[in-house]
Amino acid sequence: MSHTSEKTPAELFATPVQFLKGVGPQHAELLAKLDLHTARDVIFFFPRDYQDLTDLTDVSELSEESLVRVHGTVVELDQRNTSSGGTMLGALVRCTGGNIRALWFNQPFMVRRLPPGQELLLSGKAKWRGGIWEMVHPDVKWIDSDDTDARGKVLPVYPLTEALSQPAIRRIVAGVVETLVGHLDEVFPAEFLEAHNLAPIREAVEQIHNPANRESLARARRRFVYQELLVMQLALAIKRHTQHELRRAPPLAATAKIDARIRRLFPFELTPGQNKMIDEIAADMAREHPMNRLLQGDVGSGKTAVAVYALLLAIAHGQQAALMAPTELLARQHAGTIEGFLTASRVRWGLLTGALSPAERRDTLAKIAAGELDLVVGTQAIVQADVEFAKLGLVVIDEQHKFGVRQRASLKQAGLDPHYLVMTATPIPRTVAMTMFGDLDVSTLRDAPPGRQTVHTYLATPEQREKWWDFFRRKLREGRQGYVVVPLVESSEDAAATSIDQSYESLANGPLEAFRLALVHGRMSAAEKATVMDDFRRGATQVLVSTTVVEVGVDVPNATLLAIESGQCFGLAQLHQLRGRISRGAYPGYCCVFAEPISPESQKRLESFARSTDGFELAEIDFLLRGPGDLLGTRQHGMPPLRIADPVADAAVLEEARRDAQQLVAADPGLAHPEHERLRRMVLVRYGQVLDLGDVG
């Protein structure tokens, strides 16, 4: 890079990559594919992994059964069949101080990955066998290095997708860091760094790309993790502040009189858990700022009753309330439930879904606008542009298992904002609640209403099919009902998965021949589905063969049997939702999962499912099995992905960043203090648009 001295730091960092030392036009193209366009991008292009060539073991000093790491080069391979019909691959690896023979059984594909001359880092236990040290299935790292002596270093491994080699990108990054690191400005005041045990930016950049050792790497990484999480938590805290403190909603307190009047409507005593939720919600609604609360609780934990309480509380104050469900089916079911609760009340309510005729719709909209409906139950149809409420005090959104909370309905309304309550049946691990839902208050309903039945869950082998259907038939004859759930797949997509039509045919002409079956799936119209569900609810149909449409909230207490086909196609949360369908009545539930063929990951998932009925435990397991990226569904939420922090592994830093962010925003809501200027800019650049933080700018 020439003329360094004439440019401002900002200009230096904005230098296009092709003008960087050692980067030609070809490299520049490859870098662009990695989204690296400027010097700044390169400096903050973090390694995804490291190859630690410090503390290596010298082969002459190996001892039996201790864990070792050796560094060497593949010399030759030998491959043979074993007496048991498998394959064995041996690699002779020349290391410092001697040779090692690494062995792989039944992994013939490893041949391609071990060309002679390849540098490796092997970790594992070594055994002295037949005159040589052997390692069976060692952990391997492929060293891609043109460094003649990488020994003693911790090499960065960058997330490359293209024809760019690790040595090439290492050289490029090292060059940019060397030239520019001295121009980097610190975001945090010195005392802040000190107090939070954070490496200064220049040290952190140097050490993240070229660590002196593991400790300095950990310190550098911690700084960036903290910074990334702090910026995210600041954005959420600001969002929360703007949505809460700066907005006005009607205060709707639960006076003793109102409380008594609402409780009289329930045919049961509310549980202590429900009462706690109600206390939290009522406290929020009593304030003159909008509530923004997430109510999470397992399927069947009694969230609906809590929501109904909140709706009636708003109505008691002369406000309108809306309850929004994700599907027509669920909206109708909620309407049915609410109708049951409201027989002894004068609440005027109506249904607003896509299935209304134009005339019905016009009529309903007119009543909503005139304030002649107190309660509107419906689907997305409620948030359409032409729906205008006279005085909307509360919106309850039943998300069921979806994590779509961020896409909050924006309801048209003059004057005050309504209070918001979102319900979800997917227990959210604490780490997720803090990251994705950091701008919501969270209430958790843990105890189920009394009389909830246990569900016995079996993971069945194909040979157990006959026995299961015997059992299924016996229970049907005793008067119970059941579901058979088949994943929604195009038959060509996954050869192992059964299609719904196939399943229906083979059940109707096979094991369930003597019973009344019905089919329900997503391609049916809302009216068709409603008819089928109604027949099932009345007991006219005994078995419902379905795709996951039954997943969401269908409540038929007499249904106690559940067979799940191709269980490998379902996520843990989904399976748990499905099982929730059969724990609702007076009889114990029986769930049987068929799955084949099955990967180790699916096996683990299904075994966890069979072992535990605790939704919170399963959510944590799911989170660990799938990794945060998937569950957080950042894209679904429109939140930018985290680049370095891992909310699970870095949970402690996350807690710390969250606390600090809340304190900072409480003291300086707009981050207007000059000392916060750079932080504020970082928050706006990264989250300003997605979180709509416009008014903080």
Residues 626-655 that bind ligand ADP (CB under 6 A): none
Q: Indicate the residue whose CB is closest to ligand ADP.
A: 304
Residue 302 binds: one of ligand ADP, Mg ion, none (C-beta under 5 to 8 A by kind): ligand ADP
Please pick, from the candidates 300, 326, 378, 427, the single residue that binds ligand ADP as defined by CB under 6 A.
300
**Alpha-carbon gap, residue 443 to 438, rounded angstroms:** 13
Q: How far apart are the first and last CA of the chain?
A: 35
CB 374 within 8 A of CB 406: no
Q: Which two tokens stand for residue 306?
A: 């809590």
**Alpha-carbon gap, residue 691 to 697, rounded angstroms:** 12
Closest CA to 558 of 540, 576, 545, 575: 540
**Alpha-carbon gap, residue 381 to 77, rounded angstroms:** 66
Q: How far is the CB of 402 from ligand ADP (least distance, A)?
A: 14
Residue 290 binds: one of Mg ion, ligand ADP, none (C-beta under 5 to 8 A by kind): none
Residues 554-593 that bind ligand ADP (CB under 6 A): 555
One-letter amino acid of 154: V
Please pick, from the candidates 217, 299, 322, 573, the single residue that binds ligand ADP as defined by CB under 6 A.
299
305 binds ligand ADP, rule: CB under 6 A:
yes
Residue 271 binds: one of ligand ADP, Mg ion, none (C-beta under 5 to 8 A by kind): ligand ADP
As a whole number of angstroms, the longest Cα–Cα distance in the chain is 92
**DSSP characters over 544-592:** EEESGGGGTT---TTEEEEEESSGGGS-HHHHHHHHHTTSSSSS-EEEE
Q: Which is nearer to ligand ADP, 263 or 637 (CB)?
A: 263
326 binds ligand ADP, rule: CB under 6 A:
no
What are the b/e assignments for 337-356, b being 16+ CB within 10 Å? bbeebbeeeebebbbbbebb
Q: Indicate the residue whose CB is closest to Mg ion.
A: 553
Closest CA to 416 of 318, 305, 533, 296: 318
Residue 535 binds: one of Mg ion, ligand ADP, none (C-beta under 5 to 8 A by kind): none
Q: Which is nearer to Mg ion, 72 or 553 (CB)?
A: 553
Residue 270 binds: one of Mg ion, ligand ADP, none (C-beta under 5 to 8 A by kind): ligand ADP
553 binds Mg ion, rule: CB under 5 A:
yes
Please pick, from the candidates 207, 233, 292, 304, the single residue that binds ligand ADP as defined by CB under 6 A.
304
Residue ranges with strand state E in 45-136: 49-52, 67-81, 87-95, 98-105, 119-125, 127-129, 132-136
**Alpha-carbon gap, residue 679 to 671, rounded angstroms:** 8
| Coil, helix or strand at residue 455 | strand
Phi (first) and psi of residue 505, to 5 degrees: -60, -45
Residue 450 binds: one of ligand ADP, Mg ion, none (C-beta under 5 to 8 A by kind): ligand ADP
One-letter amino acid of 323: L
Q: How far is the CB of 267 from ligand ADP (least distance, A)?
A: 8
DSSP 245: T
234 binds ligand ADP, rule: CB under 6 A:
no
124 binds Mg ion, rule: CB under 5 A:
no
Residue 661 binds: one of ligand ADP, Mg ion, none (C-beta under 5 to 8 A by kind): none
Q: Per this entry, what is the length of the chain?
A: 697
Annotate each residue in 320-339 with x if it binds Mg ion (CB under 5 A) or - if it does not, as one string.
--------------------
Burial class (CB in 10 A: 0-12, 13-18, 19+), 495: exposed
Q: How far is the CB of 305 from ligand ADP (least distance, A)?
A: 4
Q: How far is the CB of 405 from Mg ion (least distance, A)?
A: 16
- 305 CB neighbour count, 10 Å cutoff: 20
Residues 250-289 that bind ligand ADP (CB under 6 A): 268-271, 274
**Alpha-carbon gap, residue 637 to 674, rounded angstroms:** 31
Q: How far is the CB of 261 from ligand ADP (least distance, A)?
A: 18
Q: Which is nearer to Mg ion, 273 or 553 (CB)?
A: 553
Residue 688 binds: one of ligand ADP, Mg ion, none (C-beta under 5 to 8 A by kind): none
* 382 to 282, 353, 409, 412: CA distances (angstroms): 24, 7, 9, 10
**Residue 375: beta bridge partners?**
321, 349
Q: Which is nearer to ligand ADP, 46 or 536 (CB)?
A: 536
Q: How far is the CB of 614 from Mg ion (least distance, A)?
A: 18
**DSSP characters over 380-437:** GGGGSTT---SSEEEEEEE-TT--GGGS------SSSPPEEEEEESS---HHHHHHTT
Per CB under 6 A, the segment of 303-311, 413-421, 560-568, 587-595 that binds ligand ADP is 303-311
Q: How far is the CB of 277 from ligand ADP (least distance, A)?
A: 10
Q: Which is nearer to Mg ion, 304 or 499 (CB)?
A: 304
Q: Which two tokens stand for residue 80?
A: 């043979």
Residue 210 binds: one of Mg ion, ligand ADP, none (C-beta under 5 to 8 A by kind): none
Q: How far is the CB of 551 from Mg ion (least distance, A)?
A: 11
Residue 297 binds: one of Mg ion, ligand ADP, none (C-beta under 5 to 8 A by kind): ligand ADP
Residues 435-454 that bind ligand ADP (CB under 6 A): 449-450
Phi (first) and psi of residue 99, to 5 degrees: -105, 155
* 165 to 30, 49, 146: CA distances (angstroms): 10, 15, 10
Q: Is 117 left (phi over 0), alpha (psi -120 to 50) or beta?
A: left
**Alpha-carbon gap, residue 165 to 167, rounded angstroms:** 5
Please pick, from the candidates 301, 435, 560, 568, the single residue that binds ligand ADP as defined by CB under 6 A.
301
Applying CB under 6 A, what is the total number of residues that bind ligand ADP? 17
Q: Which is nearer to ligand ADP, 130 or 450 (CB)?
A: 450
Residues 269-308 that bind Mg ion (CB under 5 A): 304
Q: Which is nearer to Mg ion, 23 or 554 (CB)?
A: 554
Residues 542-561 that bind ligand ADP (CB under 6 A): 555
Per CB under 5 A, the segment of 40-48, 163-171, 388-396, 550-558 that binds Mg ion is 550-558
Per CB under 6 A, the segment of 158-166, 195-203, 296-304, 321-329 that binds ligand ADP is 296-304
Q: How far is the CB of 299 from ligand ADP (least distance, A)?
A: 5
Q: How far is the CB of 560 from ligand ADP (least distance, A)?
A: 14
Q: Which is nearer to ligand ADP, 138 or 589 (CB)?
A: 589
Query: Which stretches of the chain bind Mg ion, using CB under 5 A?
Result: 304, 553
Query: Which stretches of the chain bind ligand ADP, using CB under 6 A?
Result: 268-271, 274, 297, 299-305, 425, 449-450, 555
